[in-house]
Amino acid sequence: MTRSDLQQTGDVKRIFNEQPSPSEYLLNHAKRFNKRIEKVTDGVYSAIGYAMGNCILIATEEGNVIVDTTESLQAAKEIREEFDKISPLPTIAVIYTHGHTDHVMGTSAFLNEETEVYANQKTKEFFDMQFSQLQDILGLRGRRQFGTRLPEGYVPCAGLGPTLSIDRGKPILVAPTKTFEDSMELKIGGSRFNLFHAPGETEDQIFIWLPDKKVLISADNYYPSFPNLYAIRGTAPRPVHQWIQSLDKMRDLNAEYMVPCHSEPIRGSERIDELLTMYRDVIQYVHDAVVRGANQGKTPDELVEEIKLPPHFDDYPEILQLYGQVSWSIRAIYEGYLGWFDGNATNLGSLSPKVRGQKIIDLSGGSDRLLEKGKKAIETGEYQWAAEISDMLLAVSPENISALELKVEALYKLGESSHSSTGRSYYFTQALELAGELPIRPIPLKVKLANALAMPLETFFKNMSVRLDPLASVDKWIAVGFQITDAEESYMVIVRRGIAEVRRGYSQDPDLVVHLQVDLWKKISLGTVDPVEAIDEGNLKIDGDLELFKEFNSLFNA
């Protein structure tokens, strides 16, 4: 029996025979995201529940200002229809609060020839970096975090909205036309807008202050859940100190209305101050507890076991752990300061999972005995222990179907017991993947090509280093110069015994030089255009040996 047979077994059919037990916390939380247009005050409206992120309208005498546009062009078009009923004037400006997908992908629904798109300078940098060298794994883990492939009913909501609504087809990302660093003051249609850089959930985060209306658009530095100080899809640790400082700047405004970019608006200065104060205090509480414990020599595992929120935080309805989670935040803060090493010298070198698993199996009296302990753990509700036992068994015997069944059930049970939308989604998605119900498929070449064509040229060249096949190139030494004719730029890629050095300009005499345009190079590099055909059509010129160029190109994976 192989893993592909797993989905046919009785145990797996038993596990997935019924809908998972719902989280009452998430069911209640989901009610916040009922689809609606909510009036905040005169001229300010928030579209809630159309997608993961809100879309906000500020209607002025001369035209409309839109803050954030959701992750879905389809949702944005629906919102535009509703906003036009309120103010049919054209869109003068779109403002991005930050660069996350759920805030920026519906922009083209609002654009006209005169529309300016405003954002922090770091948002523009974020857009350039989204095509990172890790896009494959970030895409996979992101789909797990948001449960985008889960059957209906597995997760009542996505924590910050009803669901992450990903449009089919090629997404349209509209870049900012005007950016700022620290702050920017705008006057549009007689209304004043103050934009402030406010690092927090992201480095590029801003908040928007409408002084004439006493309206604060708080972006994602506040939402009704414990903050996501670490995202399990994979992020660098968030700037916790700066997040606290940004919240303090928002508190100092004494706003009468606060409009988050997820969930409903909040009214009343006292209520707003209470929420922002509790939010910054819970972040500081966790941060300070980690630092104190680290200074006492405690490891991340010990800190996760030790640090618990006191009741005034743990029971506060607006900071329940429905999106971010304290235990993940503890590990991220620790690693942000001290890196991966926990201070225990034993862990400077550790046994591989396979060796460790075999030793645990031996101590347990064999694989069957350890498997029985795992099944017993399921019966007693020790789902984490059952999952860890299954990992040890699978590290030694990856085709152990009984161990795989154990892991699937353990993850499923962990998902059922989780109130965090992201944790619940991740557990269920990986369980279904392992069971063969949600097969992991490689990214289609046409999607890779679409991403490449949208990628900045310098980023594309930089990413070549990780596309190199190190085994095929371990004895190669080839230097290729690139003259990119439509960009008037030159690059050099040197394959040298298992690595690819990428330089802007030439650092040495190349073995050959190719002359071509940006898009053609990307297509040749990904194997969708034959260089011989490009030469015959007059679109590619090579100063040097064609066969050497073909050999060079074959060393890189699409």
Q: 180-214, pLDDT tens digit by residue?
A: 999 999 999 999 999 999 999 999 999 999 999 99
Within 10 angstroms of residue 31's Cβ, the number of other Cβ atoms is 10
- Report which DSSP code applies to 558: -
Residue 259's beta-bridge partner residues? Answer: 217
> How many Cα atoms within 13 Å fall on the side-chain side of residue 292?
8
Q: 244-266, pLDDT tens digit by residue?
A: 999 999 999 999 999 999 999 99
Residue 206's beta-bridge partner residues? Answer: 197
Instruction: Say how far residue 278 (Cα) sits from the centre of its chain.
Output: 26
State the alpha helices, DSSP H only, in 441-485.
445-454, 457-467
- Do the Cβ atoms of 15 and 408 come closer than 8 Å? yes
Distance CA 322, CA 26 (A): 7
For the chain, state the CA radius of gyration. Answer: 26
Q: Nearest to residue 226, comparing CAs of 420, 23, 54?
A: 420
Distance CA 437, CA 411 (A): 14
DSSP helix, strand, coil percent of the chain (3-state; round to 5):
45, 15, 40
pLDDT of residue 519: 97
The phi, psi pair for 114, rounded to 5°, reads: -95, -5
Domains and CATH numbers, the chain: 32-338 (3.60.15.30), 351-415 (1.25.40.880), 456-555 (3.30.1050.10)
| Intra-chain end-to-end CA distance of the chain, in Å | 32
Per-residue confidence in pLDDT tens, the chain, 558 aa: 455 556 556 566 667 767 788 889 999 999 999 999 999 999 999 999 999 999 999 999 999 999 999 999 999 999 999 999 999 999 999 999 999 999 999 999 999 999 999 999 999 988 877 767 888 898 899 999 999 999 988 999 999 999 998 877 666 889 999 999 999 999 999 999 999 999 999 999 999 999 999 999 999 999 999 999 999 999 888 899 999 999 999 999 999 999 999 999 999 999 999 999 999 999 999 999 999 999 999 999 999 999 999 999 999 999 999 999 999 999 999 999 999 999 999 999 999 999 999 999 999 999 999 999 999 999 999 999 999 999 999 999 999 999 999 999 999 999 999 999 999 999 999 999 999 999 998 888 888 888 899 889 999 999 999 999 999 999 999 999 999 999 999 999 999 999 999 999 998 899 999 999 999 999 999 999 999 999 999 999 999 999 999 999 999 987
pLDDT of residue 1: 40
pLDDT of residue 119: 98
C-beta pairs of 524-529 under 8 Å, 24+ apart in sequence: 524/553, 525/452, 525/460, 525/464, 525/553, 525/556, 526/445, 526/448, 526/449, 526/452, 526/558, 527/445, 527/558, 528/445, 528/449
pLDDT of residue 17: 64
- Do the Cβ atoms of 104 and 68 come closer than 8 Å? yes
Q: 449-499, pLDDT tens digit by residue?
A: 888 998 899 999 999 999 999 999 999 999 999 999 999 999 999 999 999
β strands within 325-434, DSSP E:
none
